[in-house]
A = this chain, B = another copy of it.
């Protein structure tokens, strides 16, 4: 059979695994975290006293469109959003398991290309693929899910609840680019700014900055997945404080996007754009104490929620069953 036209229904589970397993980083080069890899009832990861656990799924039609994202993009993004959650606790990602729920009519090539993207992103993040589950799904359904594990390497976790008035608020990574990229795709204008479209398709969370922030004494941290204001308000709510962002400090992020999407949409993307997976953290002390990979964008004040230049904002963002 013409291999380019094969679907999952044409292969046994074993044959499918033979196609995708070579694409996965099963044993890392440095620091062997894997005692038992895929192929048994379960895998075994070497761990220390605390293991970080997080899970995140992506569904076609909701989390990606096939005409906007390649299968490789989906694999990269799925890893990115999971390892960002590990980094946001102050941890280093170590291993993951992956679930694929696919209509049997799904082309084999989609799954192979997705696996290539997932495998390459896992390799780049130093994460071992420990195993997974393949299941047939109803016609039209294609969903992928990862559970990622990570190590605190002896540090305490950085929760959302530790921010205190007087802390500075800082970000590692970009702001608003994923949102602007999505906007350009929606407008059919992806060619106007390929760089922000690339961030939407394949976010690159600054995962090394998570442990660095923890070591620097970050009091609260999360990854920006649902928008700066909405995620900032989560730290505010958990810590019982107000995160007050500086419009002047955010202006360069908006200025980067304005030529492509216009001034108003640029600010909208910076304040409310999701799926960026940059890290947002609070640090005690003066701005000069913030690690070098971080940019100060606000202050923690007494109060609740989020503000911009002292003016309270109602966060907008994404709700999973309402889109």
Contact = CB atoms under 8 A, between A and B. Distances in A.
A53 interface: yes
Contacts of A19: none
Contacts of A136: 59, 62, 320-321, 323
A36 B238 CA distance: 14
Interface size class of A (residues with CB under 8 A): 35 or more
A74 interface: no
A13 B319 contact: yes
A246 interface: no
B43 A52 contact: yes
B135 A138 contact: no
A161 to B, nearest CB: 8
A133 interface: yes
A114 to B, nearest CB: 15
Contact of A54 (B8, B131, B157): B131
Interface string A26-64: 000000000110011111111111111111111111110
B41 A101 contact: no
Contacts of A221: 41
Contacts of A101: 57, 59, 101, 143, 145
Interface in A152-170: 152, 157, 159-161
A217 interface: no
Nearest to A106: B321
A41 B88 contact: yes
Contact of A89 (B41, B60, B138, B152): B41
Interface of A: 8-9, 11-13, 16, 35-36, 39-63, 84-86, 88-89, 91, 95, 97-99, 101, 104, 130-138, 140-141, 143, 145, 147-150, 152, 157, 159-161, 221-223, 238, 319-323
